[in-house]
Chains A and B, each alone.
Chain A
Amino acid sequence: MSRPPTYLEGLQRALHSHFENEPKAVILGEDIVDPYGGAFKVTKGLSSSFPDRVFSMPICESSITGMGIGLALRGFKPVVELMFGDFSTLAADQLVNHAAKFPAMYGQGVSLPLVVRTPMGGGRGYGPTHSQSLEKMFLGIPNLSVVSPSLAHDTEKVLTNALNREEPTLFIESKTLYPLPIYKGNKEVSIESLAHKDGYPIAIARNYSPDQKPDLLIIAYGGASLPVLETLEHYKEEEIHCIAAFPANLSSPPLEELATLGALARRIVIADEGHETFSWYSELSHSLQQILFGQLEAPIQHASATCELIPSNFEQETEVILSKAKIEAAATKALEW
């Protein structure tokens, strides 16, 4: 009864409500109909409840995505599922040259309410082409929102907000987080939600009491939130006061709020699951440095996957992808600067 929903269940609920409330809702994807209900089960039950609005598609990510665009142009509220985020490269032309272009290019009140959902991230031994975090390829494209809920978010609310915003949105889910209960906090770590004007809340995690000051701010999103939360729990024992901020809107991060927390902690680590260099963390640390120059005790540190192929072998994969060990190494650097 009191168990919080899992990351996956929140997403399922958001889709069900969308279909219940919105007669123009449709979804297209590969293997999404029951009894299978999608490779990661996000669409489970949907085709049984709404058989005429769930479309099982052939393997052609560009057309599936583009059909969502055509449907959205013509008044529908489509959702597209790409089975693995790695396949987003095949949909890139549709996202970048079509979805992101039409509303601004055609003008005259053309809107494009399209949400393209896809899971990213490693940790499950799927190997080089099924484990990447490629969302950075879609950041910095005008009029394309990139969004991802963390484990400390109400995933139902985040997906519902994406559906309600009625703009082309690439919605990144986390393969490792799907089965986990939403993180509501415990005796080590407390969670709160900071509202933001775009409707995407910033989830805040803290391992000290509100009347104390933080030693360190960690910023992360999506699947990276899990090792960050583990770091906070560990640092509770070490008595390192740590606050973590998980924005959900990656393409337009809430800079002011993050800078305020950064000014308070004076030491910052940014973690993301992408390969290191030319990354979300590098852009964000640049932006924060513009605001916080002179106010920090240490240069902003980062933790990420190394710039290597992600192997299937478990031990080798663990070496490459983001981990608690990498986050703590970056934190140590910031704390000991």
Chain B
Amino acid sequence: MTGESEVFFAKALLIRSFEKELLRRYGLGQFKGTVHTCIGQEACAVGVMAGIDLSKDVVFSAHRAHGHMIAYGCPLDKLAAEVMGKPSGLCSGAGGTQHLHWKNFYTNGIQGGMAPSALGAALAEKLNNSGAIVTIFIGDGTMGQGTVYEAFNISSTLRLPILFVLENNHIAQTTPTNETHASSFCQRAAGFGIDSRSIDGNAPETVAQTVGELAKQIRISNQPAFLELDTTRLGPHSKGDDTRSRQELEEIAKRDPIPRLEKLLPEDQVSQIQESVRTQIESAFEQLN
């Protein structure tokens, strides 16, 4: 158990530190455009990637994907360079924060736009008999897009090996989700005949275990599954655009996954991990100084 927590803590802290460094450099004017961090949601990324087969599964995500990419195993230096718009980046600087590609991982900046591509990729894996599945991350705000429901219908009808992961941080940019969505997301997916579950997204052990079970089930049955992760966006949407009250932010900060994981580990192990993360971040950004 300690072994698992150690890995989750190390990866979550790596993501957190990487994104804090990005925000720091953005503040210094070292790059332009935008940057979407997943501060507070790291456990979702870490847990999901621990539950799928990184050697062959295909992953799609959207604008808030640094955490997913790091947990997937993407080299930090290339990711940092890409977000900062450098020619040495993953996509030669053409992509920036929200248009990323490495190995079997693809992101784009159109909310819900990747759902059809994910279906196509799932059909490809099915036709290839590869045993690989497709995972697609979407946000709660993106549940407003028609393509998502087209994807529920098609994946269920064509029996496609796809896992929909909804990271429900209860806010879309500045709009609280309960102002724009009236019914349960899980029930919506279930209405298409999809096995749907909702769990705490800030507990990586639970996320990893549930994703592991669902992934196995999808591989055997070629039926889609839907997993809602209840999580917390502790930072702004992008840079300084948080309209929530201080009180609300303090309340959700209590669910921060990183201090929780830290408490599970002995102090010396925590400092070892912190030291190792510091070194990794330094070397990732060294080329960009």
Point out residues on A near B: beta carbons under 8 Å: 26, 52-53, 55, 57-58, 60, 62-76, 78, 93-94, 97-98, 101-102, 104-108, 110
Contact = CB atoms under 8 A, between A and B. Distances in A.
Contacts of B116: 62-67, 69-70, 94, 98
A70 B124 contact: yes
A76 B99 contact: no
Given A68-B120, A76-B124, A106-B95, 8 more contacts: A63-B150, A67-B154, A70-B124, A73-B106, A75-B124, A97-B108, A98-B110, A107-B94
B150 A60 contact: yes
B58 A74 contact: yes
B94 A104 contact: yes
B158 interface: yes
A53 B128 CA distance: 12
Contacts of A55: 123, 158
B117 interface: yes
A71 B126 CA distance: 11
A65 B147 CA distance: 11
> Chain A CB within 10 Å — which of B122, B127, B147, B153 has the most?
B127
A218 B246 CA distance: 69
A83 to B, nearest CB: 16
Contacts of B147: 62-63, 66
B195 interface: no
Interface in B56-77: 58
Given A57-B154, A105-B99, A108-B101, A73 B121 contact: yes
Contact of B108 (A26, A57, A98): A98
Contacts of B101: 102, 105-108, 110
A35 to B, nearest CB: 21
Overall SS of chain B's interface? helix
Interface of B: 58, 91-92, 94-95, 99, 101, 106, 108, 110, 113-125, 127-128, 146-147, 150-151, 153-154, 157-158
Contacts of A58: 150, 153-154, 157
Contacts of B92: 107
A25 to B, nearest CB: 11
Contact of A107 (B91, B110, B123): B91
B120 A108 contact: no
Contacts, number: 109
A70 B161 CA distance: 14
22 contacts: A58-B153, A58-B157, A62-B146, A62-B147, A63-B151, A66-B119, A67-B119, A69-B116, A70-B122, A70-B123, A73-B106, A74-B58, A74-B121, A76-B120, A76-B127, A93-B110, A98-B117, A101-B108, A105-B95, A106-B106, A107-B94, A110-B101
Nearest to B158: A55
A64 B120 CA distance: 9
> Chain B CB within 10 Å — which of A63, A72, A107 has the most?
A63
Nearest to A68: B120
B110 A69 contact: no
Contacts of B157: 58
A71 B113 contact: no
> Chain B CB within 10 Å — which of A72, A107, A110 has the most?
A107
A105 B95 CA distance: 6
Nearest to B153: A58
A55 to B, nearest CB: 7
A9 B189 CA distance: 43
Contact of B120 (A62, A78, A101, A106): A78
A75 B123 CA distance: 11
A31 to B, nearest CB: 15
A69 B124 CA distance: 11
Contacts of B120: 66-74, 76, 78
A63 B113 contact: no
Nearest to B58: A74
Contacts of B106: 73, 102, 106
A160 B92 CA distance: 33
A63 B94 contact: no
Contacts of A98: 108, 110, 113-114, 116-117
B154 A70 contact: no
B110 A70 contact: no
B91 to A, nearest CB: 5
A66 B95 contact: no
A66 B116 CA distance: 4
A53 B123 CA distance: 11
A55 B106 CA distance: 24
A108 to B, nearest CB: 7
A78 B128 CA distance: 14
A93 B121 contact: no
B6 to A, nearest CB: 33
Contacts of A104: 94
A40 B113 CA distance: 29
Nearest to A74: B124
A67 B91 CA distance: 23
Nearest to A23: B127
B127 A26 contact: yes
